[in-house]
Structure 1
Amino acid sequence: MDAPDAKLSFEAALTQLESIVESMESGEVPLAELLAKFEEGNKLLKLCEARLKDAELKIELLKKQKDGVAFAKFETTSEV
């Protein structure tokens, strides 16, 4: 299975991931297809995590620039 398109947005990757999870949870997917979907979902998850990490770093940089000196750790309100 190929890696997800690097230009894929976080939202698009998350939508694809949710669709994969939904189809896997249906219980109607043959084992071979289930494994392929699991692999694809794992790659999409890594892409989503990378997009979130990039956003976190950008927020930290912007916060640092705004305050001049202070560095504020980005705090999330939800778990991934």
Structure 2
Amino acid sequence: MSKAAKASAEAEQPAFEEAVKKLESILEAMESDDLPLEQLLQRFEEGTRLYRLCQERLAEAEVQVQRLEQGLGGALAAQPDEPLDGADDPETV
């Protein structure tokens, strides 16, 4: 796929938050028992596509966060919890 075609396909896909909302809407409709089988199958197909899209976006975000952490030399590595200033001071409680 060319870069232009890939960019066009990505532009047509909804944002992550929009995809999640659509997926939730599809699930609600499917659980309502009001849809005929053909529409249930169509919704399932669309829901599957949206689920995969969300999974891909989450994986991309995870990679981006890992790259940012590496760029900071691990400065964002988990640190032991430190109390807030004065949180352990009996005079401030």
Instruction: Give the TM-score taking structure 1 as reference length.
Output: 0.76
Q: How does 1:31-50 map onto structure 2 within 5 Å?
A: 31-50=37-56
Runs (5+) with no aligned partner, structure 2: 1-8, 78-93
Q: How many residues align?
A: 66
Runs (5+) with no aligned partner, structure 1: 73-80
**More RCO (CA 8 Å, sep 6+):** 1
**Residue of structure 1 equivalent to 2:68:** 62
Indicate the SS of the match to 1:67: coil
CA deviations 1:13-38 (Å, max 9, x no partner) are 00000000000000111000000000
Cα deviation for residue 67 of structure 1 reads: 1.2
Cα deviation for residue 6 of structure 1 reads: 2.9
Q: Determine the C-alpha separation between the residues in 2 that align with 1:65 and 1:46.
A: 29
Instruction: Give the TM-score taking structure 2 as reference length.
Output: 0.66
Larger Rg: 2
Superposed structure 1 runs of 4+ greater than 6 Å apart: none
Percent pairwise identity: 45
Matched, 1:23 2:29: yes
